[in-house]
Copies of this chain bind each other. A is one copy, B any other.
Amino acid sequence: MKVGIINVTGYAGVELARILARHPDAQITSVTGRSAAGQKLGDVFPHLSEIDLTITEEITESVDVVFSALPHAASAERIGRALSDGVKAIDISADFRLKDLAVYEDWYSVQHPCPENMEQAVYGLTELHREEVSDANLVANPGCYPTASIMALAPAIDAGIIERDIIIDAKSGVSGAGRGLSLKTHFSEVNENFMAYSVDGHRHLPEIQQELELLHSNGSLNITFLTHLVPMTRGILASCYAPLKEGAIASGPDAKDEVRDIYDNFYKDETFGKVVDAPPMTKHTLGNNDCVIYPTVDTRTNRLIVLSCIDNLVKGAAGQAVQNMNLMFGLPEDEGITQLALYP
């Protein structure tokens, strides 16, 4: 299988290259990048020097599938061209995640360059849309925060045990902000510092809302989603809170067990959705494709608390993209993404 990576020079792109370089059934045959065009991939990223490719402006080979790690808007346009050429596409950007064009254009403040492809796009949170992904030509790979947040809350919403008032307090390592320069990612500003950001509303909220409401039998959800920057490179932890529906589950200590059973059952056949016995830490996901989920109950207040962790560049981007590619091409879902977490 020949694979092209558009915008290999961002962190999602370079992580795709790392993963695909060891994928038994994929071969990277073309990689693009604007500012680095003309350079050898291994000169820009020495850890990839074994991949003997020159970065080009455009995909130069005929490929079976293309991953786009471009910024939104730019991505949709290129994806459109690939689809026209009969190439399957996985879009790491936000362009095809939202089903409602108006919501997209409102949150992203651009006109969608390629709305005609929105309908065929499948939201690629694999665990929730496995069948559709298998049949898709275009997969919209989920955002990093949505992956952690949706996987944390889906079982509870699906089981109907929580009220609609949800708080997601999410924390991410700095690589989530990308490789582009900014004072907000300048080492001396971020290091030894902790802050909230996008306090007036983060673009990942509508995506979370859309997917969780699909599972919610009873109208809209009332979600507050707040993001924070952790002085580390990789990892997301989402802390999710919601009131338990009165009478929906046992009260007291049994509540924890009952919630646990619901989660175990929801993810019982999953390779990467892991329900665990103790509060997780992001380090347990460093470099792997897991989403580690710990559901519990604050029995003092009768609230559900769910903690979930992912590596934002793996399950939150490149790893899940490869998971989706595997499904689209009938390969084992975990092929090429079985790496264990790097600890410590």
Contact = CB atoms under 8 A, between A and B. Distances in A.
Contacts of A195: 237, 279-283
Contacts of A102: none
Interface string A186-216: 1111111111110111000000000000000
Interface of A: 11, 14-15, 18, 21-22, 45-48, 50, 165, 167, 169, 171, 173-175, 179, 181-183, 185-197, 199-201, 222-224, 226, 228, 230-235, 237, 239, 241, 243, 276, 278-284, 286-288, 292, 294, 296, 298, 300-301, 303, 305, 307, 338-344
Contacts of A194: 171, 173, 230, 232, 235, 237, 281-282
Nearest to A256: B200
Contacts of A190: 187
Contacts of A169: 167, 169, 239, 241
A21 B271 CA distance: 17
A47 to B, nearest CB: 4
A288 B50 CA distance: 13
Given A18-B343, A179-B344, 10 more contacts: A18-B342, A47-B284, A47-B343, A169-B169, A181-B181, A192-B286, A194-B230, A196-B279, A224-B298, A228-B237
Nearest to A298: B224
23 contacts: A21-B340, A22-B339, A45-B343, A46-B280, A47-B288, A165-B243, A171-B228, A173-B188, A173-B194, A175-B344, A191-B233, A193-B281, A194-B232, A194-B235, A194-B281, A195-B237, A195-B282, A196-B239, A199-B296, A222-B301, A224-B241, A234-B344, A339-B339
**Which of A179, A182, A301, A344 has the most B CB atoms < 10 Å from its CB?**
A344
B197 A279 contact: yes
A186 B188 contact: no
A283 to B, nearest CB: 4
Contact of A344 (B11, B199, B280, B305): B11
Contacts of A343: 14-15, 18, 45, 47
Nearest to A288: B47
Given A165-B243, A167-B241, A284-B46, A174 B187 contact: yes
Contacts of A181: 181-183, 186
A224 B303 contact: yes
A278 to B, nearest CB: 8
